[in-house]
Structure 1
Amino acid sequence: MAAHFGRLRKGATTTAVAAVAVAALSASQAPGVTTDDLGRQAAGAAQPSGDANTGGAGGGATGDSPYYTDLPPLKSPNPSPSASPTTGTTVSVGEAEAGIPATVLDAYKKAEAELRASKPGCNLPWQLLAAIGKVESGQARGGRVDASGTTYSPILGPKLDGNGFALIADTDHGAYDGDPAYDRAVGPMQFIPSTWEWAGRDGNGDGKKDPNNVYDAALAAGHYLCRFDRDLSVQSQMNAAILNYNNSTEYLNTVLSWLEYYRKGTHEVPDGTGTLPSHSSNSNPGASPSPTTPATPSTPSTPSTPSTPKPGGGSTSPTPKPPTPSSPAPSPTPPTPTQTVDHLEDANTGKLTATAGSAFGTKVAVRAESKASKGVSKVRVRFTIIGDTDATFTGGESVATVVTGSAGTATAPALVAGEKTGDFTVRATVVGRVLGGLDYTATVTPRQADTLTRTSDTALTCVPGGEFADQVELKATYKGAVAGKVAATATLIKSADDATENDKGPYFKDADGKTIRTLTDLTTDADGVLKLPKLYADDATGTFLLRVNTTGGAVLTVELKVAAAAS
């Protein structure tokens, strides 16, 4: 019989065994990853602090909610040809633990395909999603999902009320977790509501982002793991991504164990028939995410002591017990730093302006303050980019969560402008409190050039009714540097003093071959070069002018000569 470690409990022993399990399962590692590498990195990987990498309450996506600690068998799946009960295709059948419910497996593979297209540099393996799904919810409770991938009943973690777990006051008014007092991790991938609010995705194309839908949750988890331009084919970056999901070395080791197990072979099983885990990182067995949290049964009342019959009739009352001294009232729980925050104040954020494609020189900074206007440390502040923009924070994300320092200040990561110009908003809010936020307006200005020059000094000549042998090619610079992707226009003008469009002389042709003398929507290439289309001449002779203008004020006027050919 294959050895199992699923009966082991949380603690040092579990961590040690997890490391052994990873080592035993690593016979077919990815190139460049050794058994020794995995063991050391799993046990000693740096844990993310509460900074921009943190999505939840210091515990990433799940808010440090409990997870299943069952480990895979040390014996790898033993492939043998068999037909899938749902598709009829040949699959590898081995250990029961290698079976993944059909809809859940499909969700993982579709998420991998989407990430391969949208973030190819991430190299996300679907087996990593399967490993996290196993640890977080036992593959959606063994695949108890409907045809669209939605769980038959919500999968909820315990209240994050600070009693053995992180303390996260309600952030969604119970919209996702049904709890108006405290947040709970929700769904097959166990996202806390405050993280799902910005990380949620629509994975099944139904127009909704539902944390209880395995397609939506798997895609959201994939994007969450691929944040900050991570390459998950690099073991240290994969470790960081897993720890960012749940900040625990034991969690990391457990996920890595299932990852390697699934990499060695899996097969599809019907929905609802997956193997269910039984051991949790919580102190109580089986206290991991559950479809519902049952109410605590009421304690039955103590039956009254019967009176003792007297000889000859009547009864004797029982001997009265001395009164039990009352216990001292428990001292009130001190408020958390988040609960003491009264408002956010600006922390000398400067003007937020950048040219398209460049980094902003100023960062958004806020200060969390109490009613007495004192700075409050260890408070999570979320910065969110809002508006029609492709600007992001460094790393490509539109949301970043930062923990305030000793002075109560939180500074957002640097903003990077995209190609869309105009204004957008950066909003700062306190995570875990319903307080007014601070909005900052950021502006992206168009790329500019201040100088245009021809790349050749060849004279531009043509005979009447002919075409110019050379095309006009220019180079744009801004403050001496190459000015790439700068907008420009080109117009054949009447004279140096009259910039209106000429009605005779040289001309361009549009896509239909019609005469045009003004070109708009021109853009220099990455090297600042702008090559205009071919020029043609009508029957007019003489010297004509072509004027090119760019955003930023660069202007160049080029002479074009049309003369009859010499006899």
Structure 2
Amino acid sequence: MAAQFGRRLRKGAATTAVAAAAVAALSASQAPGVSVDDQGRQTPAGAQPTPDAVADDSATGNSPYYTDLPPLNSPSPSPSPTTGPSTALGATESGIPATVLDAYKKAATALQDAKPGCNLPWELLAAIGKVESGQARGGRVDANGTTISPILGPQLNGVGFANISDTDDGAFDGDSAYDRAVGPMQFIPSTWAWAGRDGNGDGKKDPNNIYDAALAAGHYLCRFGWDLSTTADLNRAILSYNNSQDYLNTVLSWLEYYRRGTHEIPDGTGTLPDNRSDNTTGASPKPSPTPPAADKPTPSPEPQTPGGGATSPTPPGSGSPTTPTTPTPTPTPTPTDTVDHLEDAGTAKLTAMAGDAFTQRISTRAETEGGKAVAKVRVRFTVVGETDTTFTSGENVATVVTNSSGVAVAPALRAGEKTGDVTVRATVVGRMIVGLDYTATVTERAADTLARTSDTALTCVPGGEFADQVEVKATYKGAAADGVAATATLIKSADDPAENDKGPYFQDADGKTVRTLTGLKTDANGLLKLPKLYADDTTGTFLLRINTAGGATLTVELTVAAAESSPSPTETESPSPTESESSSPSA
């Protein structure tokens, strides 16, 4: 007991010093008490948003978290050989279970490739993992990284927490009435539905798997183009995970601590923090870091909440007097509670060419049953289905608060390369009502004009090859049209686009005659250079027609003619010897 009491004193003393260091790292431009939501909006002290306003759009639903701070001493890079990991001061706090540590580092590496501008440090994932679940309950995961037993937060039923009705029919959290935070990174099901990732390549997105959860947390922290090497964006990202200034300070404390050094410890040997933000008491004992003896059966792990476990019921007949309970007050309805449905707010037809930004934006209005607009409601826009169309931020999810007219305008969409119809679904965050679907159409890249880049005549002798290759430039509304599909065909005549069977031709890789080329595309500058042309023995004027997506057409004239013979040098006739006929006069 004395050792435990001393440990708590050390932690208490550390709180002020470490928190002060963490707060000192905050941006000077952010005043004390200012919070920042997931869209980067700052809320001054005294004007904090209600839990329901932001909870369902955070990773955790603002569920409880561990408040313990790191010890004052700097972490050792490895346990002392004399003291071992269980007694070295700060060793267990700085040590991270092997599988959990591996998941953090792999997630950060993946983000370096996917979103290099984010600059996500793996130590941030470790700090959040520590605060959310005590590193997956001290690394109690199987060989694949899945928690041995579920890690579940309390019901988000509006009593002491946000009110988030069930969104997954209990699939992830086992609760068909309300949502709960799930897994080592404590994602609520409604957030996991769009933020979930497959981090271990098993084809599943499981919030109970540390590899999946760590990668999802990394992408969640890196959305909106945030650069986590800057203080302001780092704070925004952490606050979007759990909207609490105390949470921010706690995570920053562990981030700084892990940056000073850490080491790997065996799975299942990590320690759990003692204190939780909701001051839950009576948690079941933490699992022993020592594996059970081989001759003893291993008890089935009991599902635990982030505070360390489910509250143990009072044994019957204990003699404890029953304390009358105070009736729970009915939560005050929020604007979200009054929303009955979503209506389109005048969205124009959504059409864009592949690779381009949509000029039209989706507008949705939140209304009561009587058709009255509802302001200050969070509307989530999600690009659904198999498509590479995203919002201009590169994400497939965006959340916008309705204005005084009850209207939320989604960010602009950017078309991907997959053509066809794309569905964007608008839903009310924290409210189980039918979503509103919008259709956005992605058309193929197109050109409306084609022109040769040279006016040199294209001529060739029979059986020879053309000296110049045909090069054209495609434009659309005066701008270079890149990535536009094109075909090139040697046709019979201006009125007959059928492929010619004589005259100029291209060659394939095997040297065979080809008179139609397909699968062509203009380059980044709208240029298209055709392969070398050859001629058979037929002379005359021939036509090459180039067509592009969008209807641009260009017909190029080719001439095959025999070489003009050069005049021969004039032959000078030598005078022939004069034949002298001498006639002798007759005698």
Task: Flag the 1:559–1:423 CA change in 2: closer, same or farther, 3 A.
Answer: same
Deviations 1:141-185 (A, max 9, x none): 100111111111111112212222222122112221122222111
Deviations 1:102-125 (A, max 9, x none): 110111112122222322332222
Alignment of 1:175-324 (within 5 A): 175-284=171-280, 289-290=306-307, 292-294=309-311, 297=314
Partner SS, residue 133 of structure 2: helix
Partner SS, residue 62 of structure 1: coil
Alignment of 1:126 with 2:122, yes or no, is: yes
Query: Contact 2:66 / 2:307 at 8 angstroms: preserved in 1?
Result: no
- How far 1:512 sits from its partner (Å)? 2.4
Where do 5+ consecutive residues of structure 2 fail to align? 42-51, 82-87, 284-304, 566-587
Partner SS, residue 231 of structure 1: coil
Instruction: Name the aligned partner's letter for residue 40 of structure 1.
Output: A
Instruction: Name the aligned partner's letter for residue 67 of structure 2.
Output: T
Task: Flag the 1:367–1:127 CA change in 2: closer, same or farther, 3 A.
Answer: same
Task: Flag the 1:111–1:541 CA change in 2: closer, same or farther, 3 A.
Answer: same
Task: Flag the 1:440–1:80 CA change in 2: closer, same or farther, 3 A.
Answer: closer
Query: Contact 1:45 / 1:239 at 8 angstroms: preserved in 2?
Result: no
Q: In 2, Cα distance between the equivalents of 1:385 and 1:475?
A: 34
- How far 1:444 sits from its partner (Å)? 0.8
Q: In 1, Cα distance between the equivalents of 2:121 and 2:320?
A: 61
- How far 1:333 sits from its partner (Å)? 3.8
Q: In 1, Cα distance between the equivalents of 2:40 and 2:29?
A: 22
Query: Contact 1:487 / 1:524 at 8 angstroms: preserved in 2?
Result: yes
Query: Contact 1:56 / 1:62 at 8 angstroms: preserved in 2?
Result: no
- How far 1:271 sits from its partner (Å)? 0.6
Query: Contact 1:383 / 1:428 at 8 angstroms: preserved in 2?
Result: yes
2:443 is aligned to: 445
Alignment of 1:555 with 2:553, yes or no, is: yes
Partner SS, residue 35 of structure 2: coil
Alignment of 1:40 with 2:28, yes or no, is: yes
2:300 is aligned to: none
Alignment of 1:73-84 (within 5 A): 73-79=71-77
How many pairs align? Answer: 522
Q: In 1, Cα distance between the equivalents of 2:330 and 2:237?
A: 38
Which of 140, 144, 168 is the aligned partner of 2:136?
Answer: 140
Instruction: Name the aligned partner's letter for residue 310 of structure 2.
Output: T
Q: In 1, Cα distance between the equivalents of 2:78 and 2:308?
A: 35
Query: Contact 1:141 / 1:276 at 8 angstroms: preserved in 2?
Result: yes
1:376 is aligned to: 374
- How far 1:231 sits from its partner (Å)? 2.6
Deviations 1:460-518 (A, max 9, x none): 12222222121111111112111111111111111112111111111111222221111
- How far 1:341 sits from its partner (Å)? 2.1
The alignment's TM-score, normalised by the length of structure 2, stands at: 0.81
Query: Contact 1:449 / 1:553 at 8 angstroms: preserved in 2?
Result: yes
Instruction: Name the aligned partner's letter for residue 401 of structure 1.
Output: T
Where do 5+ consecutive residues of structure 1 fail to align? 24-35, 84-91, 305-325
Q: In 2, Cα distance between the equivalents of 1:383 and 1:137?
A: 30
Deviations 1:362-406 (A, max 9, x none): 221222222222122333322111233211012111122223233
Which of 101, 105, 109 is the aligned partner of 1:105?
Answer: 101
Alignment of 1:511-522 (within 5 A): 511-522=509-520
Query: Contact 1:46 / 1:240 at 8 angstroms: preserved in 2?
Result: no
Q: In 2, Cα distance between the equivalents of 1:303 and 1:271?
A: 39
1:454 is aligned to: 452
Instruction: Name the aligned partner's letter for residue 35 of structure 2.
Output: Q
Alignment of 1:446-485 (within 5 A): 446-485=444-483
- How far 1:229 sits from its partner (Å)? 2.5
Q: In 2, Cα distance between the equivalents of 1:564 and 1:327?
A: 108
- How far 1:43 sits from its partner (Å)? 6.2
- Comparing 187-196 and 66-75, the one that deviates more: 66-75
Query: Contact 1:79 / 1:93 at 8 angstroms: preserved in 2?
Result: no
Root-mean-square deviation (CA, aligned residues, Å) is: 3.2
1:20 is aligned to: 20
Instruction: Name the aligned partner's letter for residue 179 of structure 1.
Output: D
Alignment of 1:115 with 2:111, yes or no, is: yes
Deviations 1:189-220 (A, max 9, x none): 01011000111111122222111111111111
Query: Contact 2:485 / 2:519 at 8 angstroms: preserved in 1?
Result: yes
Partner SS, residue 75 of structure 2: coil
Task: Flag the 1:6–1:386 CA change in 2: closer, same or farther, 3 A.
Answer: farther
Q: In 2, Cα distance between the equivalents of 1:286 and 1:113?
A: 39
Bigger Cα Rg: 2
- How far 1:94 sits from its partner (Å)? 7.1
Identity rate of aligned residues, in percent?
69
Partner SS, residue 61 of structure 1: coil
Query: Contact 2:447 / 2:475 at 8 angstroms: preserved in 1?
Result: yes
Alignment of 1:388-427 (within 5 A): 388-427=386-425
Q: In 1, Cα distance between the equivalents of 2:433 and 2:546?
A: 52
1:26 is aligned to: none
- How far 1:251 sits from its partner (Å)? 1.8
The alignment's TM-score, normalised by the length of structure 1, stands at: 0.84
Task: Flag the 1:17–1:65 CA change in 2: closer, same or farther, 3 A.
Answer: farther
Partner SS, residue 40 of structure 1: coil
1:501 is aligned to: 499
Task: Flag the 1:229–1:513 CA change in 2: closer, same or farther, 3 A.
Answer: farther
Task: Flag the 1:191–1:500 CA change in 2: closer, same or farther, 3 A.
Answer: same
Structure with larger RCO (C-alpha < 8 A, sep 6+): 1
- Comparing 329-338 and 269-278, the one that deviates more: 329-338
